[in-house]
Amino acid sequence: MNPEKFSQQIEEVRQRSQFLENRVGESPRLQDNLLLLQAIEELRTALEELRVAEEELREQNEQLTTANQQVAIERQRYQELFDFAPDGYLVTNTEGKILEANRAAAALLNLSKSFLIGKPLINFIPEQERRAFRTQLIQLSDKERMQEWEICLQQRKGHLFDASLSVTTVRDRQGKLLGWRWLVRDITSRKQAEEKMRSIQLQNLELQESVRIKTHMMAVVSHELRTPLNSILGFSQLLLRRYYNLFVPELRDMIERIIRSGKHLLTLVENMLDFSRLERDKLELNPQEFNLVELVTATTEELRCLAEQKNLTLILHANIENPRILNDSVRLRQVLVNLLSNAIKFTDTGGVIVEVQQLNQDKVMLMVKDTGIGIPESQLTNIFQEFWQADKSTTRKQGGIGLGLAIADKLVRLMHGTITVESNLGAGSTFRIELPRQISH
Ligand code: ADP
């Protein structure tokens, strides 16, 4: 009852009882008056109680109004959340007829919300998938929810897209199934990303396989080439040594050319073999204690004639207290030969400086610095990649196949060291190797 009306009625009763009381006071019959006064008094008490009850009622009514407003605000909030949620939400009855839909669902199905309401959800499933959809729906009645059901949905204009549906059952208090709540997501981009990922993985596998075949081929070919090449070289050298005096100068020159080209070819073949071994982790170091300065001096001297042929200076600086280190001297020499011959190969004026330094108690440093053509800064990151060459035309003239630095890098890593390069086009290059004094056996 309306509390205003209720208090109005109480007031009316109070006025009437007052009126009655006044009238009783005017009446001459005392006995009846007493009884009446008593009744009026009781009525007044009852009225008082009613007033208290009325007060409580008013309070409860206010609370109820506040609660109602709260509920309305919450409903509004829920409606907005539902409406503006980034995912599509639908509510259907047990037959799958759409009862509610938010904006995202309408956008996904390319239909306005008002057109969506009342439509069977199955309308948006392509013909060929409807059977499976129905079967799933029947099974769903026994379950409470189903997550990430991947399905193809069809928009009104026929456009198909991959969607994921998450479904929850809606039940009344008695547990009777009323319908389903659907969360609809467009997973086209996810599917595309998955597809891309799969093809990348496949490509990766193919690549790994081709790398494996390549290194295997390199190993086999270089091994097969090395044996006859060694015998060609060996016999040519023997021929020249034994029958030197029998040959006219022209013939000697020819044999010397065979030997030079043979040696060059052998270096290439050995580089290929080393590289393929390093790629397959088949190369093992053979650490021994040796004098680093002696090794660097001897290697520099071996290459001095190459520098002199080009009128280049070749200087060695050594600044190391204890030059004895534990490493694979053969492999370290190989790295140094590569850096030095590159430095000479790519320098036309000026010269090359080799430096040996002690960095700290446990580390030594080797540096090969030239005043040559340099390497463009943008290409410095590629320089240690196999078969990489900065300028194909120069290197074609100079020879080489781009394996030297890749091998040097792999060897230095195997020695637990680092190799870095600093260079600028036209301003020379500096290769720097840092190595631990001792590598484990
Ligand atoms: P290769 O010398 O057989 O071509 P490397 O792996 O030793 O192979 O060198 C790769 C490329 O790096 C060279 O072709 C050259 O372009 C560049 N390069 C290496 N060292 C130098 C250097 N000191 N100065 C300029 N360019 C260099």
Is residue 323 within 8 A of residue 293, CB to CB? The reply is yes
pTM of the predicted model over 0.75: no
What are the extents of the domains in the chain? 3-81, 85-186, 192-279, 288-436
The pLDDT of residue 104 is: 93
Is residue 431 within 8 A of residue 368, CB to CB? The reply is yes
- Distance in angstroms (rounded) separating the CA atoms of residues 359 and 434: 8
- In terms of phi and psi (left: phi > 0; alpha: psi -120 to 50; beta: otherwise), the region of 350 is left
The pLDDT of residue 399 is: 61
The mean pLDDT of 414-427, rounded to a whole number, is 94
When pLDDT is cut at 50, 70 and 90, the band that residue 397 belongs to is low
Q: Of 10-14, 196-200, 364-368, where does mean pLDDT reach its minimum?
A: 10-14
- Contacts of residue 185, defined as CB under 8 A and 6 or more positions apart, other chains included, come to 87, 88, 163, 164, 165, 166
The pLDDT of residue 3 is: 64
pLDDT tens for 2-41 read: 667 777 777 887 787 777 777 766 766 666 677 777 878 8
To test the ligand 1 pocket, which listed residue (278, 369, 405) has its Cβ within 8 A of the most ligand atoms?
405
CA of 305 to the centre of ligand 1 (A): 20
What percent of the chain has pLDDT above 90?
Answer: 55
- List helix spans (H) across 315-441: 329-345, 392-398, 404-414
To test the ligand 1 pocket, which listed residue (389, 422, 432) has its Cβ within 8 A of the most ligand atoms?
389
369 φ, ψ (degrees, to nearest 5) = -120, 130
Ligand 1 proximity of 342 Cβ (cutoff 6 Å): yes
Ligand 1 proximity of 395 Cβ (cutoff 6 Å): yes
CA of 390 to the centre of ligand 1 (A): 7
Token readout for 317 is 């600086």
C-alpha to C-alpha distances, 107 to 102, 235, 416, nearest whole angstrom = 9, 83, 59
Ligand 1 proximity of 373 Cβ (cutoff 6 Å): yes
To test the ligand 1 pocket, which listed residue (375, 380, 419) has its Cβ within 8 A of the most ligand atoms?
375
Average model confidence (pLDDT) across the chain: 89
CA of 407 to the centre of ligand 1 (A): 12
* CATH fold match for the domains 85-186 and 192-279: no
The pLDDT of residue 94 is: 87
Ligand 1 proximity of 283 Cβ (cutoff 6 Å): no
When pLDDT is cut at 50, 70 and 90, the band that residue 1 belongs to is low
The pLDDT of residue 30 is: 63
Ligand 1 proximity of 338 Cβ (cutoff 6 Å): yes
Distance of CA 161 to the CA centre of its chain: 26
To test the ligand 1 pocket, which listed residue (342, 373, 379, 422) has its Cβ within 8 A of the most ligand atoms?
342
CATH topology for 288-436?
Answer: Heat Shock Protein 90 (3.30.565)
Ligand 1 proximity of 384 Cβ (cutoff 6 Å): no
CA of 402 to the centre of ligand 1 (A): 7
The mean pLDDT of 195-224, rounded to a whole number, is 89
5: enclosing H helix or E strand: helix 3-26
When pLDDT is cut at 50, 70 and 90, the band that residue 326 belongs to is very high
Residue 304, pLDDT > 60, answer yes
CA of 393 to the centre of ligand 1 (A): 12
Ligand 1 proximity of 430 Cβ (cutoff 6 Å): no
The per-residue b/e assignment along 302-339, b for 16 or more CB within 10 angstroms, e otherwise, is ebeebbeeeebebebeeebeebebebbbebbbbbbbbb
Using CA positions, which residue lies closest to atom 16 of ligand 1? 390
The mean pLDDT of 223-231, rounded to a whole number, is 89
- Distance in angstroms (rounded) separating the CA atoms of residues 116 and 170: 20
Residue 281, pLDDT > 90, answer no
Pick 14 or 405 by higher pLDDT: 405
- Distance in angstroms (rounded) separating the CA atoms of residues 347 and 312: 8
Using CA positions, which residue lies closest to atom 7 of ligand 1? 404
Using CA positions, which residue lies closest to atom 3 of ligand 1? 400
Ligand 1 proximity of 372 Cβ (cutoff 6 Å): yes
The mean pLDDT of 399-425, rounded to a whole number, is 91
The mean pLDDT of 316-336, rounded to a whole number, is 95
Using CA positions, which residue lies closest to atom 4 of ligand 1? 402
State the burial class of residue 114 (Cβ atoms within 10 Å of its Cβ: 0-12, 13-18, 19+): exposed
Residue 396, pLDDT > 60, answer no
The pLDDT of residue 412 is: 97
Tracing tokens 């009342």 back to the chain, one arrives at: 118
To test the ligand 1 pocket, which listed residue (278, 370, 380, 383) has its Cβ within 8 A of the most ligand atoms?
383
**Domain 192-279, CATH class in plain words:** mainly alpha
CATH architecture under which domain 85-186 falls? 2-Layer Sandwich (3.30)
C-alpha to C-alpha distances, 270 to 223, 226, 227, 259, nearest whole angstrom = 8, 8, 11, 16
- Distance in angstroms (rounded) separating the CA atoms of residues 232 and 236: 6
Q: By C-alpha distance, which of 241, 245, 323, 331 is closest to 289?
A: 323
CA of 111 to the centre of ligand 1 (A): 64
CA of 437 to the centre of ligand 1 (A): 27
Is residue 345 within 8 A of residue 389, CB to CB? The reply is no
The pLDDT of residue 212 is: 86
Q: Of 3-12, 114-123, 327-336, 376-385, where does mean pLDDT reach its minimum?
A: 3-12
Dihedral sign for Cα 97, 99, 103, 105, please. negative
Pick 152 or 146 by higher pLDDT: 152
Ligand 1 proximity of 428 Cβ (cutoff 6 Å): no
Using CA positions, which residue lies closest to atom 8 of ligand 1? 402
The mean pLDDT of 259-285, rounded to a whole number, is 89
